[in-house]
A = this chain, B = another copy of it.
Amino acid sequence: MGREVGYLGPPGSFGEQAALLYKGLASLSLELQPFPTHAAVIGAVQTGEVGSAIVPVENSLVGAVRDTLDEILAAPEVCYLHELALSVEHHLIAAPGTSIAEVKAVMSQPEALAQCRRFLDNALPGVPLEAAFSTAAAVQMAAKTPGLAAVGTLRAAELHGGEVLAKAIQDEHENLTRFVAIAREDGALTGDDKTSIAFTVPHDRPGTLLGVLRELAERQINMTHIESRPSRLGLGIYIFLIDFQGHRREPAAAAALDAIERQSSFFRVFGSYPRFAKKPAE
């Protein structure tokens, strides 16, 4: 596999933070490479321009998670190699020497500003908010604009020479975003793995999903996520996304996957990969 890891840039973004976390976990000498959109990140894995890439798949602040899944569904050669969870923390950042009283405007990606509403209302009442495409772009601008503060990451403050005026200003203090490392192969069997699949069953008959879930429950396989979403395949057809504990090369999981595939009109295994140990409430 290539040494480059793609992510949604610019440097200083949550995508870069997740890519740095992955680089640490993988203990490999990997080079990080930013791309401008999630489609470009995923495309670079497809073409082999990068060996792997990091994309958000669940509960993200950075938006476009549904888009990420749609892009991956349209890229059959892309597999899940690893999962990662990143605790999202926002900080108030400005040019060095700025005090909170001197802040005349606050800029960030709209979702990030929304996540810090309580702090902004209390500490900076009435101060106008400005929209940016990313928290990293906002920090870059604020670090050189007197009176402008940004909501962003510590890494962006470091990269662009900004100073942190207030730390961890997000309203919710347990805000995990789940990322996956994608590649053209999935993960080796480690004994503590998860598997992600997508499939369609006719949605207008009660009990079809029940049949699928029974294949997992009968084999004592623990499901960790389930989601239904409308598909573009036609009226009444839904795509189900399921994650479960186990590796597709283990006998119980392999038998369940076979049985589910037989009940599905569309079926795809995104891959099996090591379970990320840190959990929301730990």
Contact = CB atoms under 8 A, between A and B. Distances in A.
Interface of A: 37, 39, 59, 63-64, 66-67, 109-111, 114, 117, 129, 131-133, 174, 176, 203-207, 209-210, 213-214, 216-217, 219-230, 232, 234-235, 240, 279-282
A133 B133 contact: no
Q: How many copies does the complex hold?
A: 2
Contacts of A216: 206
Contacts of A227: 226-228
Given A63-B63, A174-B232, A205-B222, A131 B110 contact: yes
B59 A114 contact: no
Please provide the 9 A-B residue pairs with the shortest distance between their CB atoms, ordered closest to farther: A207-B217, A235-B281, A131-B131, A206-B217, A210-B217, A227-B227, A226-B228, A131-B133, A210-B213
Nearest to A222: B206
Contacts of A210: 210, 213-214, 217
A205 B244 CA distance: 12
A282 B235 CA distance: 7
Contacts of A203: 222-224
B132 A230 contact: no
Contacts of A205: 222
A140 to B, nearest CB: 14
A42 to B, nearest CB: 14
Given A110-B131, A132-B131, A221-B206, A117 B214 contact: no
Contact of A37 (B63, B66, B117, B214): B117
A114 B279 contact: no
A158 to B, nearest CB: 23
Nearest to A226: B228
Given A214-B210, A222-B204, A226-B226, A67 B114 contact: yes
A258 to B, nearest CB: 18
A235 B133 contact: no
A214 B226 CA distance: 16
Nearest to A63: B111
A235 B279 contact: yes
11 contacts: A63-B114, A110-B131, A110-B133, A131-B133, A205-B222, A206-B220, A206-B223, A226-B226, A226-B240, A230-B280, A234-B281
